[in-house]
């Protein structure tokens, strides 16, 4: 298998909420123990912490990211609404702080990484939700500028024969009031039939939605630490490993359940 051909998808760790920090630490240790960093890229689709600007939660989250990097794993992450505030009230100041600490290499979204034959494109689904009048609630909006840049990026000749993976926090198919990606249909127009994998989280559902928008793999990562994912409703903690060689998906549970 060529280098970095496998994606481990994590989402919504919510470090700082109840025992989510302990669970996140266990997940990371088990990934380091059982997975091969030569072939694995870890994508985390936001809500790494429960609340922005909680120093001890940021400290633990940064320690865990550092553990993965020390283990030679490549970590790609995009911000969730909780990373920029409380989950319901966000601010540009919090956004700047989170990005400075967690993703200093990212000047702007969409953000492109290329490994081997795969292009990974991260989006910030909070980007257009930080104005004074719509920074409340848990909606997402990519904004016209980010979508225009994404469209241009997908036309870039260097991406022509690459497998394309797009990841963002907000659930593009949600109709839950105050939790929607407001410009979901505009995103659809840009990526429909043009990318291979779409990954997201936000709703803590963890359900798969394959073959949507002409994309081979479309996956909701749920909450990897199980924040408010009641098993009685059939929501189970799953950690998905996607093999880009054949687009197969293996479900694992790094918590050992």
Closer of 12 and 124 to Fe ion (Cβ): 12
DSSP secondary structure string for all residues of 88-135: SBB-HHHHHHHHHHH-TT-SSSSEEEEETTEEEEE--TTGGG-STTT-
d(Cα 174, Cα 184) in Å, to the nearest integer? 9
Alpha helices (H) in 162-208, listed in sequence order = 184-191
Judged by CB under 5 A, the stretch of 7-15, 19-27, 192-200, 246-254 that binds Fe ion is 7-15
- Angle formed at CA 34 by CA 30 and CA 35, multiple of 5 degrees: 110
Instruction: Select the span of 47-55, 113-121, 156-164, 205-213 touching Fe ion (CB under 5 A).
Output: 47-55
Nearer to Fe ion, 48 or 153 (CB): 48
- Of 4 and 135, nearer to Fe ion (C-beta) is 135
Residues 153, 191: contact at Cβ < 8 Å?
Answer: no
Letters for 87-116 (x = contact with Fe ion by CB under 5 A, - = none) are: ------------------------------
* 127 near Fe ion, judged by CB under 5 A: no
* Closest distance to Fe ion from the beta carbon of 46 (Å): 7
12 makes contact with Fe ion (CB under 5 A) = yes
State the minimum distance, in angstroms, from the CB of residue 223 to Fe ion.
6
Identify which of residues 37 and 140 has a Cβ nearer to Fe ion in the complex: 140
- Cα separation, 142 vs 168, in Å, equals 9
* CA 7 – CA 37 distance, rounded (Å): 11
In this structure, the number of other CB atoms found within 10 A of the CB of residue 152 comes to 11
- Cα 12 from chain centroid (whole Å): 8
47 binds Fe ion (CB under 5 A): yes
Closest approach of Fe ion to the CB of residue 14, in Å: 6
Q: Which stretch binds Fe ion (CB under 5 A): 9-17, 64-72, 173-181, 237-245?
A: 9-17
CA distance 145 to 127: 10
Indicate whether 50 belongs to the interface with Fe ion (CB under 5 A). Answer: no
Question: Contact, 215 vs 198, CB < 8 A?
Answer: yes
For residue 57, state whether it binds Fe ion (rule: CB under 5 A): no
Size of the site for Fe ion (CB under 5 A): 2
Return the beta strands (E) in 172-211 as ranges.
197-200
Q: Which stretch binds Fe ion (CB under 5 A): 11-19, 58-66, 67-75, 111-119?
A: 11-19
Least separation in angstroms between residue 7's CB and Fe ion is 19
Site for Fe ion, rule CB under 5 A: 12, 47
């Amino acid at each position: 298998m060529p280098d970095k051909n496998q994606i481990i998808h994590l989402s919504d760790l919510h470090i700082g909420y109840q025992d989510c920090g302990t669970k996140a630490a266990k997940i990371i240790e088990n990934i380091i123990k059982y997975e091969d960093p030569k072939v694995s890229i870890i994508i985390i689709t936001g809500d790494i912490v429960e609340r922005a600007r909680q120093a001890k939660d940021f400290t633990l989250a940064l320690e865990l990211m550092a553990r993965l990097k020390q283990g030679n794993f490549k970590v790609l992450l995009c911000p969730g609404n909780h990373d920029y505030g409380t989950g319901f009230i966000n601010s540009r100041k919090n956004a700047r702080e989170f990005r400075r600490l967690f993703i200093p290499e990212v000047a702007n979204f969409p953000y492109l990484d290329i490994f081997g034959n795969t292009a990974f494109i991260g989006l910030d689904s909070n980007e257009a939700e930080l104005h004074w009048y719509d920074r409340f609630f848990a909606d997402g909006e990519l904004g016209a500028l980010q979508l225009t840049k994404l469209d241009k990026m997908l036309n870039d000749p260097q991406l022509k024969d690459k497998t394309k993976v797009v990841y963002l926090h907000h659930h593009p198919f949600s109709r839950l009031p105050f939790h929607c990606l407001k410009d979901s249909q505009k995103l659809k127009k840009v990526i429909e039939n043009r990318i291979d994998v779409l990954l997201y989280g936000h709703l803590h559902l963890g359900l798969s939605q394959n073959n949507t928008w002409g994309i081979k793999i479309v996956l909701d990562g749920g909450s990897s630490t199980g924040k408010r994912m009641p098993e009685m409703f059939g929501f189970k903690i799953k950690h998905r490993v996607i093999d880009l060689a054949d687009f197969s998906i293996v479900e694992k549970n790094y918590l050992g359940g």
